[in-house]
Amino acid sequence: MRLIFLGPPGAGKGTQAARLSKHLHLMHVSTGDILRRAIAYETPIGMEAKAYMHKGELVPDEITDLLVRECLVRDGASKGFILDGYPRNLEQAKQLDESLDSVGVGLTKVIDFAIDPNIVVSRLSGRRTCPKCQTPYHGVSRPPLRDGFCDLDGSELEHRIDDKEETILRRLEVYQEQTEPLTSFYEERGLLTRVDAVGDADTVFDRLLKAVGK
Ligand code: AP5
């Protein structure tokens, strides 16, 4: 199964991708997580991406196209994957087509997580993230077992720098301007399936399993 997860910031793409990749043994490729790791390790890519991410802007396509192409080639796209946060504009979608052609596979489905922007703002302002494994928590909907620390590796949870309200609003604008047009792009190809992202994570996961036919 080769999937793209679309949806605004805070729709729950990362949460559901982590669950589905475990359930179906798929590779989970999150460009946001890869970039945050690059920033943490102060790599040249991380240093270039940092300013864009902190402002809620997209990082340049050349960076994300290269990161995704490397993952697909290195880790074997034919075994199945979830692309979470990529592509984010039409140029990236075209680059993805080329990358997939080069490894000889196509997409199975594109899942669009549908949610009201007002819900997204409260989800993101309450999010705390593990800096090591990137697992997202939330004070109300997904509290960690020990307050302030990751259940999986014990790291101290952080408030993502782009989860400040003004940056969240900018990320939503960027999503509407640049990423939302991809829903028509994939709908025209008969690949798009919408999943209602409102409700608790278990309910959304059940809908997702139905949407992917599992
Ligand atoms: P990225 O990391 O991809 O962020 P995003 O798309 O803005 O998505 P989020 O991680 O904010 O939300 P999510 O939908 O994954 O929700 P989550 O599951 O965490 O990108 C960050 C930045 O990197 C971009 O702004 C850009 O600068 C750069 N970037 C990345 N990819 C790029 C690309 N391809 N091109 C250019 N630039 C790129 O959940 C959110 C919160 O809600 C959590 O607290 C969670 O616990 C909670 N939650 C989840 N599900 C539920 C539920 N059902 N009910 C209640 N709460 C829930």
The DSSP annotation for 23-72 comes to HHT-EEEEHHHHHHHHHHTT-HHHHHHHHHHHHTPPPPHHHHHHHHHHHH
Q: What is the pLDDT of residues 151-173, one digit of tens each?
A: 999 999 999 999 999 999 999 99
Which residue's CA lies nearest to atom 44 of ligand 1?
127
Q: What is the pLDDT of residues 191-213, one digit of tens each?
A: 999 999 999 999 999 999 999 99
Active site residue 19: no
Active site residue 128: no
Active site residue 160: yes
Separation of alpha carbons 41 and 173, rounded Å: 29
The rounded mean pLDDT for the chain is: 96
Which residue's CA lies nearest to atom 2 of ligand 1?
32
Q: What distance in angstroms lies between residue 12's CA and the mean position of ligand 1's atoms?
A: 7
What does the pLDDT read at residue 74? 85
pTM value is: 0.95
% of the chain beyond a pLDDT of 90: 93
Q: What distance in angstroms lies between residue 11's CA and the mean position of ligand 1's atoms?
A: 7
